[in-house]
Amino acid sequence: MKRRPKGLLRRDDLLLRRGAEQERPLADGEIRIRNLAFHHAPTMRNWMSGDESGLHRTIALGSPVTALAAGRVVESRASAYPVGARVTAMSKWSEYDIVDVRGWAPTPISPGTTAIEAMGILGINSLTAYFGLLRIGEPRSGETLVVSGAAGATGSVAAQIGRLQGCRVIGIAGGENKCNWLRNACGVDATIDYKSEDVGSALDRLCPEGIDIFYDNIGGAILQAGVDHMARHGRIVLCGQISGYNEEGPVAAFTDMMRLIYGSIRMQGFLFTDYAPEIPAAMEQLVGWIRSGAIVTRQDVREGFENLPSSFNALFDGTNEGVLVAMIDQDATSVD
């Protein structure tokens, strides 16, 4: 990080250089990995902002960009992670990195799964959708679920899990192609194209009895529209605020808190790591749904280490289709 981004990340916000510190000898409990692929997550833009509120990590100027990565162990001083093993770990935008396994322990990648899949359809977006909807949204058959950012990596999985739970599902997305994909491939009942429709008016029409569960990835005006249309005892799942990640200063929230009080409405944010003990069981269920075709997913794979800044921006310019993964080594397509 050379400087704090203003709006979208620019190439000249970063420096590309050789990291001599990555060549140092390993200490006990450390592994050296060759990074194969990176997961592009909207929240990384918050990390770049320099906000030191303590609510999320901050990338210091002069330090590499922090990112979740899939890599192969090339040197190890941790017996649980032998040379040749493939793992996912919190790493950096670097070709090689040193990871201390006594911190956030790396997760082995199962045989038969590629590093791309571990970063993509079988990664944190699907887990986030799973826990956000099932643990906070608590869907019940016959309820109305509305998902904003519904064509995204997390929103599309949340919408389909809702369908599997017997909910009537409405997806909010930008553009005819995304809305068509949600209806035709993901099986949602209806869509709202926020680029060509007024979201509030569409919710009036589609949700005359209110929204039981609103799974929000967007924030801003779309969150406001969701709050305005909640049914009594509704649940709002706060997953993301992507509409404001490139803005400076606090992001405007909804108005009229009394709407929540008089409606007995619950609103809750979360991180998938809040449910860490449940992750293995959740992943088993998700793998079953995805492999069987019960849940349809898309991966948007961008290639090239030096293209990381531009591929990251696809999260915010509307060009990504599915889980956004940057592949920097062909080994990312290996299954063992």
Query: Where is 268: in which H helix or E strand?
Result: strand 266-269
Task: Please count the other Cβ atoms lying within 10 Å of the Cβ belonging to residue 29.
Answer: 16
Computed over every residue of the chain, the mean pLDDT equals 91
Most distant pair of Cα atoms in the chain: their distance: 64
Rounded Cα gap, residues 174 and 148, in angstroms: 10
What is the distance, to the nearest Å, from the Cα of residue 329 to the centroid of all Cα atoms in its chain? 22
Q: Is the pLDDT of residue 275 over 60?
A: yes
Task: Please count the other Cβ atoms lying within 10 Å of the Cβ belonging to residue 245.
Answer: 18
Q: Which ranges constitute the DSSP H helices of the chain? A: 44-48, 115-119, 124-131, 153-164, 176-184, 199-206, 220-228, 258-262, 279-292, 308-317
Residue given tokens 């491939």 in the structure block: 185
Rounded Cα gap, residues 53 and 107, in angstroms: 28
> Which of 35, 33, 114, 105 is CA-nearest to residue 74?
33
pLDDT one-digit tens code per residue, 65-122: 999 999 999 999 999 999 999 999 999 999 999 999 998 889 999 898 999 999 888 8
> Which of 231, 238, 225 is CA-nearest to residue 268?
238
pLDDT one-digit tens code per residue, 224-271: 999 999 999 999 999 988 765 555 656 666 788 899 999 999 999 999
pLDDT one-digit tens code per residue, 107-117: 999 898 999 99
Cα–Cα distances (Å) from 249 to 5, 66, 252, in that order, read 13, 22, 9
pLDDT at res. 12: 92
pLDDT at res. 53: 61
Rounded Cα gap, residues 157 and 171, in angstroms: 11
Contact criterion met (CB below 8 Å) for 147 and 162: yes
Higher pLDDT, 83 or 45: 83
| Sign of CA pseudo-dihedral 199, 200, 201, 207 | positive
